[in-house]
Amino acid sequence: MFDACVLGVDPGIASLGLAAVCRRARRPHLLWSQTLRTSSRQPEELRLKEIYGGVTDAIARHGAASVAVERVAWNRNVSSGMHVARATGVVLLAAANAGLQIAEYGPLEVKMAITGVGNAGKRQVHEALTRAHGLRDVPAQPDAADAVAVAVCHLTQARLRHEAERAVAR
């Protein structure tokens, strides 16, 4: 009924957060998290290839049923945004090649789902993952912790969508 395992992704070219989260007894359970780092000394295409390999490996290793990605938030630094957008494209390609469903969530949407507050800081998100959602071993590394939050957001949204569809069908 719900995703057995979702791979949460906080995209980036220099560091990309990954987290596998599943639902057990109606609660999220963190299976694994990692920050994949690429070297700025490498050409961008090799960095993107490394990201593709890391995402593909994570999908296979953890049996992900879907992939949830934090949507790129464009700011003043367009060049940086383009690199993140390219990394996001590689993540989407890896998920599509695996035949998985893909969902994207904006940063405010993730924060609202996790903390109930759209302008929550990283510390508040980390604390909510631990206290409100009952997760253990939430990583201290920000990119990996953000990936956990994206995955939990997806599990929450999938449950709400399912309940709404059931209510409409009645």
Rounded Cα gap, residues 38 and 49, in angstroms = 10
Check residue 51 and give its pLDDT. 98
Task: Give the pLDDT confidence of 40-84 residue by residue, as tens digits.
Answer: 999 999 999 999 999 999 999 999 999 999 998 766 667 778 899
* Cβ contact 98:56 at 8 Å: yes
* Cβ contact 94:88 at 8 Å: no
Rounded Cα gap, residues 129 and 149, in angstroms = 7
Q: Which has the closest alpha carbon to 20: 53, 51, 55, 46?
A: 55
Predicted TM-score (pTM) of the model is 0.90
- Which residues are identified as catalytic? 10, 70, 143
The total of other beta-carbon atoms located within 10 Å of residue 77's CB is 10
Task: Give the pLDDT confidence of 5-20 residue by residue, as tens digits.
Answer: 999 999 999 999 999 9
Task: Give the pLDDT confidence of 89-125 residue by residue, as tens digits.
Answer: 999 999 999 999 999 999 999 999 999 988 999 999 9
